[in-house]
Amino acid sequence: MQKKYFGTDGIRNRVGKGMISPDQVLKLGWATGRIMKERGESTVMIGKDTRISGYMFESALEAGFIAAGIDVLLLGPMPTPAVAYLTQTFHADAGIVISASHNPHYDNGIKFFSASGKKISDEIELAIEDVFDQPIEIVPSEMLGKARRIDDAPGRYIEFCKSTYSAKKRLDGLKIVLDCAHGATYHVAPCVFEELGAEIISIGVSPDGFNINQSCGATDLVALQQAVLEHNADLGIAFDGDGDRVMMVDEEGLVLDGDAILYILATASKGLITAVSGTVMSNLGLENALKERGVELHRTSVGDRYVMACLLENDLCFGAEPSGHVLCLNKTTTGDGIVAALQVLSVLVDSEQSLAQLTQSLDRYPQVLKNIPVESAQGLDENISLQERVAFFEGEMGDEGRILIRASGTEPLIRVMVEGKEVELVEKVAVELANLVKSEFS
């Protein structure tokens, strides 16, 4: 059955539009609470990132859950993976994150976790949607839920993150630049790395409700690259607004995305890891480099929930998207930027190599990604003109290239990705296909 409200990662929109308005979010809390009650559940945990609309939606969700008879634990600003972790440690029945992840401050969204710290299933999302379309019925006053704030949540999460670092030595002697995107990691990430011994230069740690992801963080690495070079740092680490993505910069200012991080984690095992999971966006160079080392890359649709499903189905440990969602199921239950960075640092410290050395055997293919704003991507898969040009270019590139055109699951965009060995051909194909998408859909 087609979902009406949920996307690839919860519900997301511009503040005040569609489901992301206070009345709809209140009803969403109530509908989710109703489903929880039917399942014999009683407690939900709510966290948020630093965007200003979080105050409004936190209150709306709280009211909706209480109206359904569900008790609410409020965390305040906390990374998405922290909410997943704390939902388990507090034995809550569900976790909710108010965040639009890497999007600008004027967007927001709602993400859902189960009691086990994993994304909720499609079946539960469909059940919530079904109840959402019914009129609100408030439980009797004596059955209303209660709410309380959890004051020691940051400290609990910091200690958890530190516990996942496994190198024999601490981070003493390493100078690291951290970019927290003025988002939910601003008050926890610097503490984690400092307490493990690193010298930390922090940027993007002054949220004002509007500057989340603005020219900083995992989606804009220029400031991090400049800071690494300016401070002569060993490396840089950037998180997105809600902390579930991580990107890194080596000592030379070169970017390591999710593909590079996955390569480091997979090859550090010296043969113990035989397969990992990526997506259709994972670079062909990554697939070839892993194959040379006896590691198979399983590709999935775009979205960390699909990477997660692949890992669980095949009993695998590591998976990633190029955008920085990195899953380390030997350490935690969901994508966690801080935890993933710590796993890379564990490899770096134990091997006594730099990030540049750890990735020197990864020969990435040139890849061009074009994002075309659209009102709607409806009919994308059936567009004959586009199919014919893609088929032509695929024939021209042969086995040494790939083309992927897809609708974004989180933004009103159509994404055109082209990769291959010849950079000039890749750029030419990407430009022509992007122009064709514009003429057909903009």
**Residues annotated catalytic, as ranges:** 101
Q: Which helix (H) or strand (E) holds 394?
A: helix 384-397
Give the Cβ contact number of residue 223 at 10 Å.
17
Q: Which helix (H) or strand (E) holds 424?
A: helix 423-441
How far is 74 from 90, CA to CA, in rounded Å?
A: 12
* Residue that is written with structure tokens 């997301």 in the block: 12
Give the Cβ contact number of residue 194 at 10 Å.
15
44 by Cβ neighbours in 10 Å (0-12 / 13-18 / 19+) ranks as: buried
Beta-sheet strands, E only, within 52-142: 71-77, 94-98, 107-114
How far is 308 from 133, CA to CA, in rounded Å?
A: 30
Backbone angles phi, psi at 255, to 5 degrees: -85, 135
Of the candidates 202, 264, 266, 260, the residue with the CA atom closest to the CA atom of residue 236: 202
CB of 278 closer than 8 Å to CB of 296: no
How far is 275 from 294, CA to CA, in rounded Å?
A: 8
How far is 116 from 98, CA to CA, in rounded Å?
A: 19
- Whole-number Cα distances in Å, 213 to 100, 253, 305, 369, 389: 10, 20, 22, 20, 35
Q: Which residues pair with 371 in a beta bridge?
A: 415
Q: Would you call 80 helix, strand, or coil by DSSP?
A: helix
Which two three-digit tokens encode residue 398?
């042969």
Q: DSSP secondary-structure letter at 19?
A: T
How far is 191 from 51, CA to CA, in rounded Å?
A: 22
Q: Would you call 15 helix, strand, or coil by DSSP?
A: coil
CB of 259 closer than 8 Å to CB of 322: yes
